[in-house]
Amino acid sequence: MEVTIVGRNRAQGAKITAELGVDYLHADLSKMSDVRRLAEQIEGPINALALCAGGISTDKEVRLTNEGLETTFATNYLSKFALSEMLLQQNKIVPDGCIVMVGGNGVHKNASTVWAEPQAGLQAAMKAAFAVDLYASELAKRHPRLRVHTCYPEWFERIFSKRRHCCSDCCLEYSASR
């Protein structure tokens, strides 16, 4: 099994990948130019893709990337959408593979659906989480053999920490029948 970790901090990436004995690719997932480059760099076949990049800004003002995108929405949703779509179009993800994305896990209270209007802080993160869940549902319908899951961020923390357990209510599975 081959594992590759992607991150924007080269020093942390090198440290983590050395500890785990896996590969590292550098990319800032808030930048769609880096996401496009990453899609070309990643080699297939991919059996499982875990898209867990994200964050929440405490800024009260909207933060834009140098490409004009709201940073939190770009990182937490657009990167997951763009990377998975490019990898699928390039046939790098096996048809019966699995994609797991950090999303809202079905919890969307007060999340905005005004997609073209950038928001700041927690509101941007909530909007992105809602978008991930909607995308996961649509992705499962378009690729019925592909296993598509969204997980609440806590799930990834549990998996990658020393507490190697998970609760069943942290993940949602999407299928073509949903």
Task: Residue 128: name the closest of 157, 97, 161, 153 by CA.
Answer: 153
Query: What is the rounded distance in angstroms from the CA atom of residue 82 to the CA atom of residue 129?
Result: 15
Mean pLDDT of 46-68: 91
Q: 82-96 as b/e, with b when 16 or more CB fall inside 10 Å? A: bbbebbbeeebbeee
Task: Look at residue 138 in the predicted model and tell me its pLDDT.
Answer: 95
- Are 127 and 69 in contact, with CB atoms under 8 Å apart? no
pTM of the model: 0.86
User: What is the CATH T-level fold of the domain 46-174, as seen in this structure?
Assistant: Rossmann fold (3.40.50)
User: For tokens 């059996």, what's the residue?
Assistant: 47
88 DSSP β-pair partners: none
Complete DSSP assignment for 97-130: EEEEEE--TT--TT----TTS---HHHHHHHHHH
| Residues 116-169: tens digit of each pLDDT | 999 998 899 999 999 999 999 999 999 999 999 888 776 445 544 544 333 334
